[in-house]
Structure 1
Amino acid sequence: MATTSAGILLYRIDPDGTVSALVAHMGGPFWARKDEGAWSIPKGEFDPSQEAAWDAAAREFREELGVAPPDVPYVELGTFAYSSGAKTVTVFCGDGTGFLTSDADRAALVFGEFEMEWPPRSGRRQCFPEVDRVEWMPLADARRRVVAGQRPALDALGGLLG
């Protein structure tokens, strides 16, 4: 059975007309030295019988980034299936112009944490941030750097904004 996730994809139109997206670099030791394919839309798992997709997306945004999503109108971009079939993600987008615009804004974020055994088979449990940084990046850059299963959401955003 596929894992169900929901997330928020914020965008802004830069002064030169470029569309940029806010994406997060995944935290933890596995992703520490990776860039391409190591970024994600802020999102997380939920049980659709217990929680609405929008509520889960907003909750996960707060948990991962430590701040509430901006109070702007959101549009559901759609539900996208990863090629493995193991996961679907419902993505909501909103205009994040003015949100987390400075290095200081982003440096002040307090990221959520997860616990895992590290090093593997050591019996030791350690805490790591769910994400270790966020950046605004042009859609073309974000598309190259996010996990493959989320690229269709970036394509849908590009199509929506024309």
Structure 2
Amino acid sequence: MFLDWLLASFHHLAVFSLAAILAAELALTAAVLDDRAILRLARIDAWFGVMAAIALAAGLARVFLDAKGVDYYEANVFFWIKMALFVTIAVISVAPTFSFIVWRRELRETPAFRPPAGEVARLRRALYLEAALFALIPLCAAAMALATGR
């Protein structure tokens, strides 16, 4: 029982942290991106990767160590939808992460560097898409909890 609570707690804290990090990235990219904002974005995005790994590890630990058992998860369509959403978000997040890395490198070489407006707009569209898909994950989690495994 304690292990179930512990794994659920780590999983939920990591997922909520992902939501906060995504919101922070959207907020930071809404303003003019100066050198401080670019460096902050790169650091925040690194935490997005860390929290995604923790959420995934805790979630998988729940699948294999939770009292519900593997069969519950394997038979639950909402679990698989959650996994598909998570993977899709991960794939989409590669482009913003790459941009943040490139921008940080550019900034080191040229302190006056500012990312082009078009590039920032594309990045924000990706972040909004991530956020929209991310919003579906808790809906699937609630449905998953109510599903009988059909």
Q: What is the TM-score with the length of structure 1 in the denominator?
A: 0.28
Q: What is the TM-score with the length of structure 2 in the denominator?
A: 0.29
Task: Determine which structure has more spread, i.e. the larger CA radius of gyration.
Answer: 2
Looking at secondary structure, tell me which structure has more strand per residue: 1
